Amino acid sequence: MATTKPNAAPKAASKGKADKAAKVEGAQVVAKGYIPTLQKRYKEEITAKLMKEFGYTSVMQVPKLSKITINQGVGSATADKKLVEIAQQELTIISGQRAVLTYSRKDISNFKLRKGMPIGVKVTLRAAKMYEFLERLVAISLPRIRDFKGINEKFDGKGNYTLGVKEQIIYPEIDIDKVTKILGMEITFVTTASKDEEAYALLREFGLPFKNIKK
C-alpha cells in the first residue's frame, strides 16, 4: 500500500520562497508611513532657504529631487558572466533596491560583444529609498574615499548632476574581503530645477560636498 508524504508540498513551497528571497537579498522594505530624515529636512528647512535665496513666491517653484539613478558597467562580463550577477547583488545591497541588468544593443566583434548580452546593472531610486541612499552617501560613503577633497560641480545644463565613483568598496555595506573585482559607477541626481544654479543649491543643502561651496 502506497503512503503519502504530507511534508513534501510544504517543503517545496518553502524552498520556492527561499529561492525568491535569495534572489532579492539586500533589498529593503520601507515601513508604511516612514519619512527619512533628509525628506523631513527638505520640507522643514531646505524649502524655506531656497525660497529666500531665489525669491520664489510659491512652494511649488522650489526645485525637488525627483530620482537618483545608479549605473554600473561591467566590461569584463563578456569573458565572465558571473561578474554581472555579482555586480547586481552588490548594487542591490548598496542601494537597498533590486538592481536590474542592462544589455548591449548591438554586436561589436572587436569586444566579443553580442546584441542582448548583459553588460552592466542599474537601479532607479525614488521617494524614501532615494533619500535614505543620499543620506548614507553623504554621511558615510563619500568621506571613506581616500584623500577626499570634495566633488566636482559640473552639471548637465538641465538641472541634473552625475557623480562618478571609482570603487564600490567605499560603501560600508560591501565586504571588501568578498569583492572579486573593483568596479566604478555613475550616480545621477535628477531634479526638477530648470537651471543648474538652482540644482546646485538644492544638492548643496542636501549635504553633497562640492569642492567650492557657493553660499
Tens-digit pLDDT profile for the chain (215 aa)? 444 444 444 444 444 444 444 445 678 777 788 899 999 999 999 999 999 999 999 999 999 999 999 999 887 655 567 889 999 999 999 999 999 999 876 655 555 556 767 788 999 999 999 999 999 999 999 999 999 999 998 999 999 999 999 999 999 999 999 998 899 999 999 999 999 999 999 999 999 999 976 55
Q: How far is residue 168's CA from residue 116's CA, in Å, rounded to a whole number?
A: 25
In-domain check, residue 215: no
In-domain check, residue 159: yes
Please state the domain count of the chain: 1
Q: How far is residue 66's CA from residue 149's CA, in Å, rounded to a whole number?
A: 27
The CA R_g of the chain, rounded to the nearest whole Å, is 21
In-domain check, residue 3: no
Dihedral Cα 187, 192, 196, 199, nearest 10 deg: -70
The domain spanning residue 81 has which CATH number? 3.30.1440.10
Residue of 113, 120, 121 whose CA lies nearest to 78: 113
Judge whether 159 and 199 are in contact, CB under 8 Å: yes
Question: Which ranges of 55-184 does DSSP label H, i.e. alpha helix?
Answer: 82-95, 127-136
In-domain check, residue 19: no
DSSP SS3 for 143: helix
In the beta sheet, which residues pair with residue 52? Answer: none
In-domain check, residue 17: no
Its domain, for residue 43, covers: 32-206
In-domain check, residue 66: yes
In-domain check, residue 27: no
In-domain check, residue 18: no
Q: How far is residue 45's CA from residue 50's CA, in Å, rounded to a whole number?
A: 9
